[in-house]
Structure 1
Amino acid sequence: MIDWGALDIQVCGQASNGLEALEIIKSGGVDLLLSDIRMPIMDGLQLLTEIHNKHFDIPSVLLSGYSDFEYAQRALRLGAFDFIIKPCPPREIAAVFEQVVMKTRDKRKQEHELNGLHYQLKENIPIVKSQTLLEWLHQPKRTNENRSEQIRKLGISIPDKHTIVIVIQPDGKPLEELNYNRTDLQLIQFATTNIVQETLEQNIRQPVEVIKDQDGIVAICSGTIELLTDKLTTGLTQLQRNLEKYLKITVSIGISRSKASIDNLAEAYHEATSALQLRFYRGLGGIYYYNQSEAAQLEQHPLQGDPDRIRLEPLLVDHLRSGLYAEALNLTEQWLEYFHAEHALSRTEINLQTLSLLARLMQLGNEQESAESGWSDSLVAMADQVHRVETLEELSGLVYKAIQQWVELRNPQKTPRRKVQQAVERIAQNYNSAALSLASVAKELFVSSTYLSTLFKQELGINFLDYIHQYRIEKAKALLQTGAHKIQTIAREVGYFDEAHFTRTFKKWTGLSPSQYKKEAHDPK
């Protein structure tokens, strides 16, 4: 007798013919088979044929009293592990099954490891896909590289033709520089990519691949710009609203032209990032399509020696040295206007010019022994910010801040804070005048409009026009509460000579129309 337990084998069934054996095998739980060839109804070779046809993976050993090589050959061809000639001692069968058990275990171990590798590969496909797309964004196509085949293998959802790249960058500091812990940052990035993908796919009605890249998000889709512009603009505008609504993030967006194929992905990415540079000139929160002529103007080129601009910088410093602060501010505004001209200078040139002015101001401080006041340290800190500001408006504010600090330092009795107070007094005196404006108040105070606007926002945290609206609305609320005047009359008394404009402005600042406010004031619930 064979000691099956010693071989770690448990007998789960016995059959008198091949058909019975096949039914036992079909019921499951059979790992090994020992069968005679000669059996009624269905012999061993027929049983092996059925097992083979039904794709049962069961190692089999056949017994036969025939030594005919043809039997052995057929059995092995049908997948038999071994063929034993009877009569044979039990130890011979045991030795064969010892080998069967060892090889079966080795095979299952290999299958388990292979399944684990397949699982890991499946789990890591999104990572591999993202890494592949990132590489394509930053590297040109290599010789003999078949990107169409890689798209198929990795399950990348976009076609390999008419490729468009969209670069989405948060305004302000990158998310990584904000005070989020690692878990929160990962959740925000995950939510951002999901919002980008869902919003764009809903609007352009086609697949979009979205990946994290450096300081922002990159979306890749397929189509022609001429046909997709309206859908893209609608979708990207909706995306900006969704990100601000759900994640409190504002973004600027650059879009490339449509490229012939995925092989040109790096070129499309370069165009999208070039388009995004326009936010420095035009402000944050924009949607910028790549334009070849604009891109050429944005490229760095040698500094242009415009004689008027070159003359302004030393003249501005001379006015500060002489205490002619209003004149210096007017020259500052003229100097900055050269930067605001439609890409007259590249970003690099503007940075260099700004640093040059700050260096002149630092030299002026050294001449007039202002170093001990912290003036130099303040200018060094501002110079460090020049390369980090995101818009020309921010850069202008930085320059005005430097001028403001110099004025405060050299002439405390003429501090900018006094200018703001004087502006507030002018508003209180003339709030009901149609002629009240930033330009009119700046003219009365002998400063430039841009300077007064920047100063007002720095000191009070609100821009000049919004302050006027708030002041007028507060006056209107007081008049509405008395109930003695018509709305049209109140509008005129507080400086609005168009009743519809007054109604819109009032509702913007209070959430109620003037008539609703008046009703609630006299009939509170």
Structure 2
Amino acid sequence: MRVGEQTLHIEAGQIALLPPNVEHAGADIITSDVDFYWMHFKLPDARMLPDDAGLPQDDHCLLLPDERTLPDPDRLAVMCGQLIDIYARFGPYSNAYCDYFATGLLLEVSAQERLKADFATHRTLAGYRGDGKPITSADRVWQQQEWAMHVDSAGAAGDSSGLAPMLAIRSWIMANAFDDITVAKVAARFHYSPSYLTAMYRRVFGVGVAEQIIEYRIDRARELLSSTASSVADIAREVGYADPKYFMRVFKRRTGLTPGQYRDAFPARLYNTV
């Protein structure tokens, strides 16, 4: 698409932030089916940050990328669908419910952007520069100083908190949660004992590794139930459960609803088909 004088090529799973009062339109013929969500919003005191700027540490500050592939675009797709449901029920006039939910959606974008940046920081600390090449000894001194400054500004207790390695482990679990993984396999992958890993992970994130795997699986199942017509058995297999009945028990224990009841909670949506 064309945005002002710039041409953007937006891939599947990406988001783009378009500035206000700038003309935008399609730039080429689309030959395949395309599904996308879009929304308009206003932000007070919005400002651009250069690429090399540090992350704002204020929890009330939204960090919105101009164009990015985020770690979990499916989660955003589900939230967009929920916003459409809310608008269909309580619109078409401006109301607090839609406003607050739209704010929550933007907070999700910001949270995913921060998580991605934190993981990139850990990758650098683990021995790789931004270009993927190994860090030299001279680079290492600078990176340790930079990390200390980042941790202090975030109010953390230093790298002894275990945050950096646990962020890497959480990212790996997120990417592999739907495979046949267990606490023991995760621990072996990162050279920890299962009990030590569970204790460290719980200290950093407040949940154990097993609970984290279940959380990612059920989150994905909710997305599929609300956005596809796949059967419960197929969804169970897709999120890592070979036994659909066991999946249904886990789902109800985590959400309070059966998969069928959760799917029925999404009414018919309004789609812009122009």
TM-score (norm 2): 0.39
Higher strand share: 1
Higher helix share: 1
Greater RCO (CA < 8 Å, at least 6 residues apart): 2
Give the structure with higher Rg (CA).
Answer: 1
